[in-house]
Amino acid sequence: MGYSGFRVLKEGLFGQTGWKPVWRDPDPKPEYDIVIIGGGGHGLSTAYYLAKEHGLTNIAVLEKGYIGGGNVGRNTTIVRANYFLPGNSEFYSHSLKLWEGLEQDLNYNVMHSQRGLINLFHSDGQRDAFARRGNAMVNQGDDAILLDRDGVREHLPYLDFDNLRFPIYGGLYHPRGGTARHDAVAWGYARGADQRGVDLIQNCEVTGIDIHNGKVTGVQTTRGAIRAKKVGIVVAGRSGQVAEMAGMRLPIESHVLQAFVTEGLKPIIDHVVSFGMGHFYISQSDKGGLVFGGDLDFYSSYASRGNLPMAEHVMDAAMTLMPVIGKAKVLRSWGGIMDMTPDGSPIIDKTGTEGLFIDCGWCYGGFKAVPGSGFSFAHLMATGRHHEPAARFRLDRFRTGRGLMDEEGTGSQHNLH
Amino acid sequence: MRIPCPICGTRDRREFTYQGAAELLRRPAPDAGDAAWDDYLHNRDNPCGEARDLWFHEAGCGAWLVVERDTATHEVMGAELAEKVAS
């Protein structure tokens, strides 16, 4: 089913009754060439690119809940490519380019809005660090503009520039950064994969991974056994449990990250604003809600909701940065489960089991990686070779110490990112 | 979340700093090899449900605790001094 302005007009005239489900709801077949465990953003995009780029269509995506019900529907929708270190830099640059062509590619409106991202700084030292990061972004071929205080004021006049503790010295402006409608990204990829013949199987939880003589042969699920030549694990916060089915322990701790949204307001925040010193960032959705979040709660958790101390900290930071939003009423808060690695960077790699692949460790930045992760993981699963932009996302980098990507420079250790 | 410190009594989560899984108390021998050290430093069981982890009573008595906790519900079942667990 195609989308067009004409179609929208026609459906409007006939009571919106012509819209049909945009993907099938098939029962699992007994065997597939490739099984993807996890029907989130990364799993769906992996299936989509396996079909589109590599012509592989005998694929099942197994989702224990429903499509769009996991982290892909629970994040704060930021899309950016402002990474510093080799490895991350080229990967997110590639992912952003995929974002920029995504709506045409999928023929689906994912409401990708390149409204610009501004990272604020508050000292001379931070200015130097952001100048260096900006240069790295430009060298990568992406865009970055170092704004002074007046430059920031032009974009964000509503900030408290003279806060005693964190006066605003300037910001690093990334014009191609922005947001996208997260549900639509999941739906668009689901529809695109389904149209190419991929079976999206919902309410199908994987309960075991079958391995014979060091080679994966299939999975056990709540809807029966499914044989497969290759299996990809793409389950974010649940990576530890699924990997355990294959006898693996991963360098991952699952943590909870909270997010908040206010009632709908008239347009006020035109950009994505990031206040790193307060662990706070904010944007405004097209519906008008202010969408904002903070740092991890900093203890391992699968509860999908946080505790009060971090909620208070986020509100403190909001009031420090922009007292103007003080009267906005918070409608909802929620938590997502983050698959945290020791160095804060992801993993796209083979495992010790032949035919078993893993894509995990996206920490709190998985949403912007949805296209790039799927593209690179599909490349690895289809060809057996690492895709160049993701070639450094190796599982063994923690053991060897080679190729660690610690963006924050805090050390490659759990609980520091 | 409140944590029952064996020395101070039940205190707010704000007083504590989380370190990680209690298996950190079982440090490998210096010459155990890089696989053992990799496992100790990086790899985790990462349980969903009952977990035992290390918390530091930073704004209290300064003791290290092993806290029994449910990671799926945030229920705290109990806590004991890490030095007793480790010895």
**What mean pLDDT, rounded, does chain A reach?**
96
Q: Between chains, do A240 and B42 touch, taking CB under 8 Å as contact?
A: no
- Domain count of the fold of chain B: 1
In chain B, the residue whose alpha carbon lies closest to the alpha carbon of A306 is B74
A303: chain B residues, CB-CB within 8 Å? 71-74
Instruction: Name which of A262, A346, A259 is nearest A304 in CA terms.
Output: A259
* Residue A259 CB coordination number (10 Å): 21
CA B54, B56, B61, B67 torsion-angle sign: negative
Distance, CA of B70 to CA of A75 (rounded, Å): 24
Mutate which of A241, A256, A300 to test chain B, going by most B C-beta atoms within 10 A?
A: A300
Lowest mean pLDDT among A117-121, A283-287, A391-395, A410-414: A410-414
Q: Between chains, do B71 and A307 touch, taking CB under 8 Å as contact?
A: no
Distance, CA of B15 to CA of A233 (rounded, Å): 37
Q: Between chains, do B38 and A398 touch, taking CB under 8 Å as contact?
A: yes
pLDDT in tens, A372-402: 999 999 999 999 999 999 999 999 999 999 9
HEC string of A68-121?
Answer: CCCHHHCCCCEECCCCCCCCHHHHHHHHHHHHHHHHHHHCCCCCCECCCEEEEE
Q: Between chains, do A342 and B41 touch, taking CB under 8 Å as contact?
A: yes
B42: chain A residues, CB-CB within 8 Å? 251, 342, 398-399, 414
Strand-strand pairing, A117-121 and A170-174:
antiparallel
Structure-token pair, residue A116: 């610009």
In chain B, the residue whose alpha carbon lies closest to the alpha carbon of A256 is B71
Structure-token pair, residue A260: 């908040």
pLDDT in tens, A10-31: 999 999 998 999 999 999 999 9
Q: What does the pLDDT read at residue A329?
A: 97
A163 in B contact zone (CB under 8 Å): no
Check which CATH number belongs to the domain holding B6 and give it.
Answer: 3.30.2270.10
Distance, CA of B1 to CA of A377 (rounded, Å): 38
Q: What does the pLDDT read at residue A303?
A: 94
Strand-strand pairing, B50-56 and B17-21:
antiparallel
Q: Is the pLDDT of residue A135 over 90?
A: yes
Q: Between chains, do B21 and A300 touch, taking CB under 8 Å as contact?
A: yes
Q: What does the pLDDT read at residue B86?
A: 77
Mutate which of A252, A255, A301 to test chain B, going by most B C-beta atoms within 10 A?
A: A301
pLDDT in tens, A297-332: 999 999 999 999 999 999 999 999 999 999 999 999
CA B81, B83, B86, B87 torsion-angle sign: negative
Q: Which helix (H) or strand (E) holds A154?
A: helix A149-155
Rounded alpha-carbon distances, angstroms, from residue B39 to A54, A400, A401, B23, B53: 36, 12, 13, 10, 16
Q: Between chains, do B20 and A301 touch, taking CB under 8 Å as contact?
A: no
Task: Give the confidence band of A1 by pLDDT, cuts at 50, 70, 90.
Answer: low
Q: Which residues contact B31 (CB under 8 A, 6 or more apart)?
A: none
Q: Which amino acid is at A155?
A: H
Task: Give the confidence band of A359 by pLDDT, cuts at 50, 70, 90.
Answer: very high
Q: Between chains, do A307 and B13 touch, taking CB under 8 Å as contact?
A: yes
Mutate which of A305, A395, A414 to test chain B, going by most B C-beta atoms within 10 A?
A: A414
| φ, ψ of residue B23 in degrees (nearest 5) | -65, -15
Task: Give the confidence band of A415 by pLDDT, cuts at 50, 70, 90.
Answer: confident
Q: Between chains, do A301 and B14 touch, taking CB under 8 Å as contact?
A: no
A403 in B contact zone (CB under 8 Å): no
B35: chain A residues, CB-CB within 8 Å? 399
The domain made up of A112-178+253-340 is a member of CATH 3.40.640.10: no
Rounded alpha-carbon distances, angstroms, from residue A374 to A43, A46, A87, A336, A404: 7, 4, 16, 20, 22
Structure-token pair, residue A40: 């989130």
From the list B19, B45, B72, which residue is nearest A249 (CB)? B45
Q: What does the pLDDT read at residue B87?
A: 67
From the list B13, B42, B49, which residue is nearest A342 (CB)? B42
User: CATH number of A20-77+182-248+344-400: 1.10.1240.10, 3.50.50.60, 3.30.479.30, 3.20.20.140?
Assistant: 3.50.50.60
Q: Which residues contact A318 (CB under 8 A, 6 or more apart)?
A: A280, A282, A292, A325
The pLDDT > 90 percentage for chain B reads 97
In chain A, the residue whose alpha carbon lies closest to the alpha carbon of B74 is A303
For the question of whether the overall pTM of this predicted structure is more than 0.90, the answer is yes
A3 in B contact zone (CB under 8 Å): no
pLDDT in tens, A331-348: 999 999 999 999 999 999
Q: Between chains, do B45 and A415 touch, taking CB under 8 Å as contact?
A: no
Distance from CA of B60 to the nearest CA of A (A): 17
A360: chain B residues, CB-CB within 8 Å? none
Range of the domain at B62: 2-86
Q: What does the pLDDT read at residue A4?
A: 86
Report ipTM for this prediction. 0.95
Distance, CA of A56 to CA of A406 (rounded, Å): 35
Contact B53, B66 (CB under 8 A): yes
Interface of A with B in 187-246 (CB under 8 A): 238-241, 244
In chain B, the residue whose alpha carbon lies closest to the alpha carbon of A310 is B14
Structure-token pair, residue A254: 């699952």
